Structure 1
Amino acid sequence: MNTPVSPESLLHAALNGGRDHPATPRTPKAIADEAAAAVAAGAQVIHFHPFDASGRQTFDDVAVSATLREVRAVCPGIPISLSTSAEIEPDPQKRLTLIAGWTELPDLVSANQGEAGIREVCEMLIGRGVGIEAGLLSVDDVTSFVGSGLTDRCERVLVETTETDPDRALTDAAAIERVIAEADIELPQVHHGEGIASWVVNARAIRRGHGIRTGLEDTPVLVDGSQAAGNGELVAVAAGLLAELGS
């Protein structure tokens, strides 16, 4: 069993996704190296997207298993979260079939609640003992989540504003958080944003007692807008924010 961490100090590292950045890791070894750097800088949960030999994001079992093994070898005991995003496989049935074929399982998955077929993916993975981080990118996603019947069966929610303008990102995060409260969803929350706006979203979340996420999937830049060297540097800055702003 992994050691639980308190939601108000939880720091996720999202290592890759489709981000175009020199340090974005795509091979199992590169992903493991970036994971180790993120953990050394303070990350408590590692999230990543496996890639196939051609450099594309994939749900293929061979790539998923190989990457999980590499990361677990260098980050023992650290919870690992994989993506279930429709951006990787837009066909709901193909996505479900591919994910159901995983032979080595992550500890967690992120599951965007506004996507077609996501309830079936969540139900299947819950049945296999995988924790669900419910991705809420909008107020409508909260409504979908409530209707799914999964609100008491998930590990946490991810408040994921996609706005790149800092002011609009803060407005979005506040609106999603408000509707979560109105729906009486009491799951721990982890907040993150996109690009430079991710930092104000992180800071707001810390002040409100929530966890945060950073990494090259979310932002290629530091607080001052300069390019980050990699995931380790981004996580180190986020850890500094937690130390400065956390209660």
Structure 2
Amino acid sequence: MIELQVALNGAVTHPAMPRTADEIAADARACVDAGATLLHLHAFDDDGVESLAAGPVGRMLRAVRASCPGIPVNVTTFAEIVPDPAERLRLVESWTELPDLVAANQGEDGIDEVSAVLAARGVGIEACVLGTGDVERFLRRGDWWRFERLVVEPLEEDTDDALALDALMEDMVAAAGVTLPQLHHGVGRASWHVARRAVGRGHAIRTGLEDTTVLEDGSPAASNRELTEAAATLLRSVGRARS
């Protein structure tokens, strides 16, 4: 089965994007019902600001797990939320409720320390690469087998540029002998072309309002559920073509 991850929220503006723990839990349930098999989440504090603090992260995780039992939950460790590496590490160390996985952007300062702390506590680490420099850094580590998954993120708005970068990053890790499961996603309308390419190659995909606010035809997406339904349809159609 090809996995479908949904990134419900983040530093985007959309009227349907969930922020509170209850909103995130309800939206997550709707996405799971529509075909999501993995969830990627950002926590928000009481002021509606993204947070890595233990309180908001814990409240969100408890609410989502109550609404979506058995669905793996991935939480961001994005440096733009807490730019200071030492402070980010301190906050992550304070977590009392742990996600199943975290997304670890390989180009960020301090990500190795954050990953080590969470891995020691049993949290799976997704290695996220946003460009060729990230791939090179990831490969220099020499311990790729310690990660749960490689997330390939060609964050280019132009479709041709996104597809070219997606293919290049995949070729780089393949040439290095990396055999981790892969998940691919883009941004905006290009995200759908990246998804089609990925599914055709047997890789997991991601959608959600963090990544795109439009459907494949360019029309506005009303919600995470609508994006999930569209991605699930893509999975089925491309999957049939592969079989």
Q: TM-score range by the shorter chain?
A: over 0.9
Give yes or no for the alignment of 1:107 onto 2:123: no
Give yes or no for the alignment of 1:69 onto 2:62: yes
Equivalenced residues, count: 240
Please identify runs of 4+ aligned residues in structure 1 that moved more than 3 A: none
1:183, distance to aligned residue in structure 2 (A): 1.5
Give the SS at the match of 1:152: helix
Deviations 1:50-98, CA, capped at 9 Å, x for gaps: 0001111100101000000110010000000000010111111111110
**1: CA distance, partners of 2:112 / 2:190:** 29
**1: CA distance, partners of 2:108 / 2:93:** 17
Question: Structure 1 residues 143-152 or 229-238, which shifts more?
Answer: 143-152
**2: CA distance, partners of 1:125 / 1:24:** 27
1:184, distance to aligned residue in structure 2 (A): 1.1
Deviations 1:133-172, CA, capped at 9 Å, x for gaps: 1101011111111223441101001000110111111011
Partner residue in 1 for 2:198 = 205
Instruction: Map residues 1-247 of structure 1 onto 2, 5 A cutoff.
Output: 6=1, 9-246=2-239, 247=242
Tell whether the 8 Å contact from 1:32 to 1:74 is kept in structure 2 after alignment.
yes
**2: CA distance, partners of 1:143 / 1:199:** 26
1:114, distance to aligned residue in structure 2 (A): 0.5
Tell whether the 8 Å contact from 1:119 to 1:148 is kept in structure 2 after alignment.
no
Letter in 1 for 2:165: D
Instruction: Provide the aligned C-alpha RMSD in A.
Output: 0.8
**1: CA distance, partners of 2:205 / 2:214:** 16
Q: Any gaps of 5 or more consecutive residues in structure 1?
A: 1-5
Tell whether the 8 Å contact from 1:138 to 1:172 is kept in structure 2 after alignment.
yes
Percent sequence identity is 53
TM-score (norm: length of structure 2)? 0.97
**1: CA distance, partners of 2:234 / 2:219:** 17
TM-score (norm: length of structure 1)? 0.95
